[in-house]
Amino acid sequence: MTDDERLFTLEEAEAELDELRRRLPILRQARQELIDTGERITSAVELDGGGVEGSAWFRAQQTLRAELLWRAEQGILLRDPETGLVDFPAERNGRRVFLCWRLDEDRVGWFHESQAGFSGRKRL
């Protein structure tokens, strides 16, 4: 843990959920657009240098970058963009842990030790 790293209480993590529910699908869509347009650009480069597909790729890249920067500024760690898995750095019983939440979950109800990861999740 660094001195300037934000540690979340359960209440603070839960206060971020509405915004995460709004923003994670945007991130997921931008990521998929990058993948899709990247494939189309590869094909289009042979014909016209990337053209319109290149523009879509750059828009998706800007959106993805903005969403990732927002999370970083908030201190929220994106673990899996497909499932919307995020971790909130926290402290529990004097130990560094991560409060763990996924987009399909109603509330932050899990945590895991800093070395355990998703498979080591335990109920709060």
Query: What pLDDT sits at residue 5?
Result: 84
In Å, what is the CA distance from 77 to each residue of 52, 74, 93? 33, 9, 21
What is the pLDDT averaged over residues 68-82?
94
What is the pLDDT averaged over residues 82-93?
95
Q: Dump pLDDT digits (tens) for 52-69.
A: 566 777 888 899 999 999
Given a contact cutoff of 8 angstroms between Cβ atoms, the answer to whether 88 and 8 are in contact is yes
Q: Dump pLDDT digits (tens) for 17-37.
A: 999 999 999 999 999 988 888
pTM of the model: 0.83
With 60 as the cut, is the pLDDT of residue 49 above it?
Answer: no
Every domain of the chain and the residues it spans: 1-16+76-124, 18-75
